[in-house]
Chain A
Amino acid sequence: MVNAENPSLQTGSPVIATGVSQRFGSNTVLKTIDLNVAPGEVVALLGPSGCGKTTLLRLLAGLSRPTTGSIHIGDQLVADAGGGTFVPPERRSIGMVFQDYALWPHMTVAQNVGFPLEMQNVGSAERDTRIAEALGMVGLAHVADRQPGTLSGGQQQRVALARAIVSRPRLVLFDEPLSNLDRELRESLVVDIASLLRKLGMTAVYVTHDHGEAFAIADRVAILHSGNILQIDAPEQLVGNPSSPIVVDFLKLGLVLPADVQGGDLMIGGGARRLSPPAGLVNGSRSGQLFLPRSALLPSNGGNRVAAGHAISGTVVHSMFRGDGYAVQMRFDNDISLEMFSTTRLGDGTIHDLDISWDRAFWFPHEDVQTDHTHNA
């Protein structure tokens, strides 16, 4: 038994997925993936729809079988395509929160929450205590006897959360749990889930397509794209050191400009713009993509910076007042646009030069886009 008062006590198990892939017929939805989750760690699987994140989650849950590879939860081998081992979901000691709540409409809230305990043959007296405790943790002790259909969406998802953690599972899985809720509710619930998981020391895998949600909840975030994990890192690391233009693009971290290298200069848009990076940034490659994070673009001091290839000019599409300043949508070369921040309103249609601080720029050479990159810092 875990003492809720003792936050240091960890109930979560490590999760190790090795060489896991899934194919449906000729359609590969998940390429060979490795994923290690430490005990008590929360990992978010982040990516656009169809990237394979939900597939991976269902493999961890045992709701589908991997085509190749193996999965361990704790010491238990739960799936091994090679050896034919497959442990069904009900014998994996996991909890799961679904996008559409999936509360059973013929049971009360308390019966829903108590169901996993009932399956473990927990006696009714202890069950009642633990149901009350779990409902208390999600702030819904007062709705125990209601039917789930009478609750709001946010409340239903809290009940589903209580059901997922009530039996102190080794692993809790979240399948886009907040995407049916409105923004305000999402933001408050994500904090509640994050702190609850930390308090209980639970291992969790959290699928989402919203990077704000992923950054808010996870110790590490895995970016999935076309069935691959592109990068798995702490949120700070992802933003500060993205591994590929796709990560940059998905997280909207800044400008990505395809460029050819000519005599040390970067030719953008077939030579429409020339930038002169310091030696060493492109590192001998002939073409690639220049990534300029927002922090590398500063209002120009004037002078000949553009002509010298150390600044870039963009057209303001629109400035939106955001309370503490302006979100400015700017359009750059090749119709690439980026939302910038400004303390003053910039007139629509005006052209502004932005100085490039080269020490913050990244270069993704074409030769090996996926893994290697040079950071001139």
Chain B
Amino acid sequence: MRLTSLKSRVFGNGGMIFAAVAPVLTLLVAFPLLFVVLQAIFPDIARGIFANPFSRFVETLFDKHLISWTLNTLMLGGSVVLVSALVAVPLGILRGLFRIPFAGLWDVVFLVPFTIPPYIAALGWIMALQPRGYLEQITGLNFGGFLFSFWGVVFVMTLNVFPVVYFAVSRMVASIGGRYLEAARVSGCPPMRSFWRITLPLTTPAIAASLLLVFAMAIEEFGTPAALAARSGFLVLVTGIEQRLSDYPIDLPGASLLSVILVLIAMAAFVLQNRIVSRRDFQTVSGKPGASRPAELGAWRIPVVMFFAVIGFLGAVMPILSVILTASTRTISGGLAADNFSTDNFTEIFANSGGAMEALGTSLSLGLGAALITGILGTMTAYVVVRQRTVSSRILDFLTLMPNTIPGVVVAVGLILAWNQPWLPITPYNTIGILVLAYCCLLLPYPVRYANAALRQVSVSLEDAARVAGAGGIKVFFRILMPLIFPSILAAMLLVFAVAARELVATILLAPIGTRTVALFIWRQFEQGSVGMGMAMSVMAIAITMTIPVAVAIWARKQGRLF
């Protein structure tokens, strides 16, 4: 009896899970973020002193950099949104409404930008468009001036994020396409008019929501503006924060205030996005994908396919091609000459030149660690949140999803501030542990959200049926729940692995001296001029983050019907 009641307390109502998870989440998420806010208010908090609150506040707030960086951030985010809308909304609508030749291929091609870390894509574009880059060698055209300008940053970032809008819009348009359009046609509405009256208004929330997501992604991105525009003095909040922390004198209050501003902007975007997505009409539309019958393009076939092909080439092929070319040529100055091609760069990587193999090993272990921790933590939290609808479980939900709105650079600032507090008996700072903390905090939302969605699909009666059949709480969890939700959690863990293994900005700020990761290796090689080796490492990073998920998916499918 005693044992059963204990078990039911553990898994029946999630009380013990809550007790286990809450302090971990507090330490992982709330602790560092709290210190970002505290630092912005108390300038001497780094020494553990709560003195002179707001004494530096006004001075920092009216820092001319702060205003210009904030404006730059908004301008960059807005421009990326604008260009993404111009490119991806038409693409998505075309894909949703019409039978596009090679439609499946375009969907795959537009997924590729998700698998290329933005900083690698930016480096690829530099190699292609810089003076004496590949484009100039082939065509004689030099777009270097454009690439290293504001619009160059917008261009490269748009190519990285536009698929978010494309997939959201095309899915929405396709699900409207079937029933809602047929109802309009039968009611006497001609095709063009039903597009304006039915399709477009119903797609607007999806367009707005995905563009807000693009905005958030754009203002949080570090690699692209750092690689392309920092040298010309164009700084945004993210690159500004990084500069405050890496250039002497290190300005902690300034970095914190900038972080708070950045978080507020990002949060505003997310809140707005969330409000749109949870609107009733959005949900009724997206709920049921009808059997849509795409229309024929007719004479527009060729221009439309050209449009898809050009964007696909720019977004997916060009940066990867450029990275591969650089990786497989001996010297940059040698250019695209036949005798300049070699596997030297890869040979050097495998020979551990510059600590390449160590960096690879570190990144893979960090990715694996982060995936395991967030997977377990995320599943436990999701279980409490889904099955135990109380105030405390909602706080957990908030804690785990909040990092979603927090840029990586801010998490890094928080970790620096929090774990350097003089009163701490032990600290992971200056060890590789701090990177694990950073990745777990940043990526926890993925497993939580995936596990959450999966758990909601599992009816409580499935658990009840197992209990009635004689299984205890723990058995129910491992025999009934886990098999049902594991595929989702595995997918989330793969995502965590892929992102953590190549994370850039938090790693730059937090990695202990002498620790190298893949991202750091690539970044430093590029800064030091050994571009070829950096690009060879990029090729391997892309290959690993692309092939491991595919391999696991194939393995999972072979395991049979469980997945």
Residues of A within 8 A of B (CB): 61-63, 88-96, 98, 100, 102-106, 115-116, 119-120, 147, 149-150, 163, 167, 173
When A90-B190, A119-B189 are in contact, do A105 and B281 touch as well, CB less than 8 Å?
A: yes
B284 on interface, CB distance cutoff 8 Å: yes
**Which 6 pairs from chain A and chain B are nearest by CB?**
A119-B188, A102-B183, A105-B281, A116-B187, A89-B185, A96-B186
CB of A89 within 8 A of CB of B280, answer no
When A105-B284, A105-B285, A147-B281 are in contact, do A94 and B186 touch as well, CB less than 8 Å?
A: yes
Q: Which of B185, B193, B285 contacts A63 (CB 8 A)?
A: B185
Q: Which residue of chain B has the shortest Cβ distance to A64 in the bound complex?
A: B293
Cα A1 to Cα B428 in complex, Å, equals 82
CB of A147 within 8 A of CB of B280, answer yes
CB of A96 within 8 A of CB of B183, answer yes
Cα A102 to Cα B284 in complex, Å, equals 10
Cα A63 to Cα B290 in complex, Å, equals 15
Residues of B within 8 A of A (CB): 179-180, 182-191, 193, 197-198, 201-202, 280-281, 284-285, 288, 290
CB of B281 within 8 A of CB of A90, answer no
Q: Determine which residue in A89, A103, A150, A167 has the highest number of CB atoms from chain B within 10 A of its CB, and name it.
A: A89
Cα A375 to Cα B288 in complex, Å, equals 49
CB of A104 within 8 A of CB of B180, answer yes
Q: Which of B186, B285, B288 contacts A90 (CB 8 A)?
A: B186
Residue numbers in B under 8 Å from A63 (CB-CB): 182, 185-186
Interface majority SS on B: helix, strand, loop or mixed?
helix
When A98-B182, A149-B280, A149-B284 are in contact, do A106 and B202 touch as well, CB less than 8 Å?
A: yes
User: Beyond the given A105-B202, A119-B193, A120-B188, could you list 5 further A-B residue pairs with CB under 8 A, ordered by the A residue number?
Assistant: A63-B185, A90-B184, A98-B182, A102-B182, A116-B188
Residue numbers in B under 8 Å from A167 (CB-CB): 187-188
A and B contact pairs by CB, cutoff 8 A, 9 listed: A61-B186, A63-B186, A88-B185, A93-B188, A104-B202, A105-B284, A119-B189, A119-B193, A173-B186
| Cβ of A170 to closest chain B Cβ, rounded Å | 12
Q: Which of B184, B190, B201 contacts A115 (CB 8 A)?
A: B184
Residue numbers in B under 8 Å from A106 (CB-CB): 201-202, 281
| Cβ of A49 to closest chain B Cβ, rounded Å | 14
Residue numbers in B under 8 Å from A93 (CB-CB): 188
Residue numbers in B under 8 Å from A173 (CB-CB): 186
Q: Which residue of chain A has the shortest Cβ distance to B200 in the bound complex?
A: A106
Residue numbers in A under 8 Å from B189 (CB-CB): 90, 115, 119
Cα A99 to Cα B185 in complex, Å, equals 16
| Cβ of B184 to closest chain A Cβ, rounded Å | 7
Residue numbers in B under 8 Å from A91 (CB-CB): 188
Cα A144 to Cα B558 in complex, Å, equals 54
| Cβ of A164 to closest chain B Cβ, rounded Å | 8
CB of B183 within 8 A of CB of A98, answer yes
Cα A61 to Cα B293 in complex, Å, equals 15
Residue numbers in A under 8 Å from B193 (CB-CB): 119
CB of B179 within 8 A of CB of A98, answer yes
Residue numbers in A under 8 Å from B201 (CB-CB): 106
Cα A173 to Cα B187 in complex, Å, equals 11
Residue numbers in A under 8 Å from B187 (CB-CB): 90, 95, 115-116, 119, 163, 167
Q: Determine which residue in B185, B188, B193, B281 has the highest number of CB atoms from chain A within 10 A of its CB, and name it.
A: B188
Cα A93 to Cα B185 in complex, Å, equals 10
Residue numbers in B under 8 Å from A105 (CB-CB): 202, 280-281, 284-285
Residue numbers in B under 8 Å from A61 (CB-CB): 182, 186
Residue numbers in B under 8 Å from A149 (CB-CB): 280-281, 284
Cα A163 to Cα B186 in complex, Å, equals 10
Q: Which residue of chain A has the shortest Cβ distance to B197 in the bound complex?
A: A115
CB of A90 within 8 A of CB of B183, answer no
CB of A90 within 8 A of CB of B188, answer yes
Cα A316 to Cα B288 in complex, Å, equals 44
Q: Determine which residue in B183, B280, B284, B290 has the highest number of CB atoms from chain A within 10 A of its CB, and name it.
A: B183
| Cβ of A169 to closest chain B Cβ, rounded Å | 9
Cα A119 to Cα B284 in complex, Å, equals 24
Residue numbers in A under 8 Å from B184 (CB-CB): 90, 104, 115
CB of A104 within 8 A of CB of B198, answer yes
Q: Determine which residue in A88, A98, A106, A173 has the highest number of CB atoms from chain B within 10 A of its CB, and name it.
A: A106
Residue numbers in B under 8 Å from A90 (CB-CB): 184-191
Cα A219 to Cα B290 in complex, Å, equals 32
Residue numbers in B under 8 Å from A92 (CB-CB): 186
Cα A221 to Cα B186 in complex, Å, equals 24
Residue numbers in B under 8 Å from A89 (CB-CB): 182, 185-186
Residue numbers in A under 8 Å from B186 (CB-CB): 61-63, 89-90, 92, 94-96, 173
| Cβ of B175 to closest chain A Cβ, rounded Å | 12
Cα A119 to Cα B193 in complex, Å, equals 9
Cα A94 to Cα B183 in complex, Å, equals 11
| Cβ of A336 to closest chain B Cβ, rounded Å | 36
Residue numbers in A under 8 Å from B288 (CB-CB): 100
Q: Which residue of chain B has the shortest Cβ distance to A120 in the bound complex?
A: B188
Residue numbers in A under 8 Å from B180 (CB-CB): 102, 104
Cα A224 to Cα B188 in complex, Å, equals 29
| Cβ of A147 to closest chain B Cβ, rounded Å | 7
Q: Determine which residue in A91, A102, A149 has the highest number of CB atoms from chain B within 10 A of its CB, and name it.
A: A102
CB of A102 within 8 A of CB of B179, answer yes
Cα A63 to Cα B184 in complex, Å, equals 11
Cα A96 to Cα B186 in complex, Å, equals 7
Q: Determine which residue in B179, B187, B198, B201 has the highest number of CB atoms from chain A within 10 A of its CB, and name it.
A: B187
Cα A103 to Cα B180 in complex, Å, equals 7
Cα A116 to Cα B189 in complex, Å, equals 8
Cα A264 to Cα B62 in complex, Å, equals 110
Cα A103 to Cα B179 in complex, Å, equals 9
